[in-house]
C-alpha cells in the first residue's frame, strides 16, 4: 500500500493497484465533532474528482464528503453507516468511506503529502 495523500477538502486517499481507498482525515473528524450520520455513494456509481460522494453529519451540522479521485465506486464501508461514531475513533484506518477504481493515477500527484497537509490543516483550522 502506498503512502496516504491528502486533499484540500480534508479527505485522504490510499492507493493499492488501481483501487483508491478514501476517507476523511483525523483533522476533519476533530473539526466535525461527534459523527452521528454517514451517507455513502452507491456501489457502481461513477464519481468525478472533487465531486460530492457522501455526507457526514455531526451533532452540529451536515457536511458533504468529496472524492479526491475520478472513477467507479467499487466498495463502501457499511460499518460506519451502522456505527457513525466509529469515524471519530479511527478516521484514517478502519473507518474509511469508500473505494474507487481510478481512471487516472496522475490525479494523485495533485494531492498533498502528510507533512504538507498537516501544515495546510493548521493554517485553515480557524
Partner 1 sequence: MGTQKTALYDYHKSLGAKFVPFAGYEMPVQYSSGIVEEHKVTRSNAGLFDVSHMGQLLIEGNENLATELEKIIPTDLKKIKLNQSKYSFLMNEQGGIYDDLIITKVEKGFIIILNAACKNNDFKIIKNALGSKFQLTLCKNLSLVALQGPKSSEILEKTINGISSLKFMNGNKFSYNDKDIYITRSGYTGEDGFEISIPNQLVEDFAKKLIVQGVKPIGLGARDTLRLEAGLCLYGHDINESTSPIEANLKWAISKRRREEGGFVGYNKIKSDMNGSLARLRVGVNPEGKIIAREGVKIFSKDNEEIGLVTSGTFGPSVNRSIAMGYVKLNFSKPGTKVLLEVRGKKYEANISELPFYKKNYVR
Binding site for partner 1 (CB under 8 A): 33-34, 36-37, 39, 55, 57-60, 62, 81, 84-85, 88
Shortest reach from residue 61's CB to partner 1, in Å: 8
Q: Which is nearer to partner 1, 4 or 84 (CB)?
A: 84
Q: Least distance in Å: CB of 31 to partner 1? A: 10
Residue with Cβ nearer partner 1 (18 or 62): 62
Number of neighbours of residue 6 by Cβ within 10 angstroms: 24
Q: List the grid coordinates of 102.
A: 481510478
Q: How far is the CB of 55 from partner 1 (least distance, A)?
A: 7
Cβ 85 vs Cβ 35: under 8 Å: yes
Which of residues 80 and 111 has its CB atom nearest to partner 1 in the complex? Answer: 80
CB closer to partner 1 out of 20 and 91:
91
Rounded to whole angstroms, the Cα distance separating 22 from 67 reads 7
Task: Enter the C-alpha cell of residue 77.
Answer: 464501508
Q: Which residue has the cell 494523485?
A: 108
Minimum Å gap between C-beta 86 and partner 1 is: 13
**What is the C-alpha separation between 71 and 103, in angstroms, rounded?**
6
Do 25 and 10 contact (CB within 8 A), yes or no? yes
Amino acid at each position: 500500500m502506498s503512502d496516504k495523500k491528502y486533499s484540500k477538502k480534508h479527505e485522504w486517499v490510499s492507493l493499492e493497484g488501481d483501487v483508491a481507498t478514501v476517507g476523511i482525515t483525523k483533522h476533519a473528524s476533530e473539526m466535525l465533532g461527534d459523527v452521528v450520520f454517514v451517507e455513502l455513494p452507491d456501489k457502481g456509481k461513477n464519481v468525478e474528482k472533487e465531486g460530492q460522494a457522501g455526507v457526514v453529519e455531526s451533532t452540529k451540522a451536515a457536511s458533504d464528503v468529496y472524492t479526491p479521485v475520478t472513477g467507479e465506486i467499487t466498495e463502501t464501508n457499511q460499518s460506519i453507516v451502522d456505527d457513525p461514531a466509529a469515524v471519530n475513533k479511527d478516521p484514517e484506518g478502519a473507518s474509511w468511506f469508500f473505494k474507487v477504481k481510478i481512471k487516472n493515477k496522475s490525479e494523485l500527484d495533485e494531492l498533498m503529502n502528510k507533512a504538507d497537509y498537516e501544515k495546510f490543516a493548521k493554517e485553515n483550522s480557524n
